[in-house]
Amino acid sequence: MPPETNQPKKHVDLHIHTRYSDGSCTLEEIMAAAAARGLAAVSITDHDCTDAYPRAMDMGAAMGVEVIPGVELSSEIQGIDIHILGYYVDFGNSEFIAKLQEMKEARFLRAQKIVSNLNKQGLDLRFETVLNIAGEGAIGRPHIASAMLKEELVSSFREAFDVFIGYNSPAYVEKLKMSPKEVFDLIKRAGGIPVLAHPGVTGVDERIQEFIRDGLLGIEVSHTEHPDAAIRHYLKICKKNGLAFTGGSDFHSSNHSKFELGFPKVTYAAVESLKDKLCKRSR
């Protein structure tokens, strides 16, 4: 991403997960690490969950780290799982709160079904172990994989997904389905900016123009799994279509094949891009 002009280069990380969803670090650990690494701004983007807020913003104010309200929501189109980041959403919006609660309940029931399917395959996984690992957060398959590791039913996190709970596996259960347009509309009605997460990973370039027509307002340009060529490619799309451009580590933990908090390097221009889009929406 282009650096800010005539200012010291400040870096941000706008894609971070905590224990409130499928991350392994607490909010306190994330915020302390962000401050220690000199990040100017962060966004906690837990899956289908905003439990980190408003405490994250209070902690950021005390530490001198700007916190951009965020969330990551799932959608699906023709069997492709598409993640959408929502920034500056009003977490007091009643419709948004109700939908997140529906998603959380659906995740709980889904996890129960996956564990039941595993039990039918002869794996004696206890649902209580999954709940203990997930804590108060929205339950996801990474929690189930961690529980399988804890109960020594698999030898690695990857084995849990590749053999037992990944897509097309016997124990897999589909998530609550929403179309990308439904997610765009939900985020926008709550005052937020919908941003397409890691398009280089999901491989949906041919649908980006369709998404823009449906209400997409930004693209995550920089991401752990985006090479330099992809960053240039998506930044060009953003400039051509007047979209916000963001970036982040997608940090979960170093054990989940994600890099460190604050990498790749994303300049504060990403935050300014979101604020500009937010300002134009409010006119």
| 255 in the same domain as 201 | yes
Residue 5: inside a domain: no
On the question of pLDDT at 116 being above 50, the answer is yes
Q: Is residue 4 pLDDT above 50, yes or no? A: no
Position 251 in a domain: yes
Number of structural domains in the chain: 2
- The answer to whether residues 138 and 277 belong to one domain is no
Regarding whether 195 and 254 lie in a shared domain, the answer is yes
pLDDT of residue 136: 73
pLDDT at 6 exceeding the cut of 50: no
Q: Do 25 and 159 belong to one domain?
A: no
Does residue 14 have a pLDDT over 70? yes
Q: What is the CATH number of the domain that holds 234?
A: 3.20.20.140
* Any domain includes 172: no
Q: Give the mean pLDDT of the chain.
A: 92
Does pLDDT of 184 surpass 90?
Answer: yes
Final residue belonging to a domain, choices 145, 165, 185: 165
Range with lowest mean pLDDT among 167-176, 186-195, 215-224, 243-252: 167-176
Same domain, 269 and 219: yes
Percent of the chain beyond pLDDT 90? 78
Say if 214 falls within a structural domain: yes
Same domain, 126 and 262: no
Check residues 168 and 186 and name the one with the higher pLDDT: 186
4: in domain: no
Whether the pLDDT of residue 2 is over 80: the answer is: no
Extract the tokens encoding 280: 């134009």
Question: What pLDDT, on a 0 to 100 scale, did the predictor assign at position 281?
Answer: 79
Residue 2 located in a structural domain: no
In a domain, 170, yes or no: no
Q: Is 95's pLDDT higher than 80?
A: yes
How confident is the model over 37-52, as pLDDT tens digits?
A: 999 999 999 999 999 9
For residue 3, is pLDDT > 50?
Answer: no
Same domain for 233 and 131: no
In a domain, 104, yes or no: no
One domain, residues 25 and 54? yes
Chain segment 239-280, per-residue pLDDT in tens: 999 999 999 999 987 554 446 899 999 999 999 999 999 988
Does pLDDT of 157 surpass 90? no
191 lies in which domain range? Answer: 11-98+177-281
For position 9, what pLDDT does the model report? Answer: 66
| 183 against 146, higher pLDDT | 183
Q: Is residue 134 predicted with pLDDT exceeding 60?
A: yes
Same-domain pairing of 87 and 191: yes
CATH code where residue 146 lies = 1.10.150.650
Residue 98, pLDDT > 60, answer yes
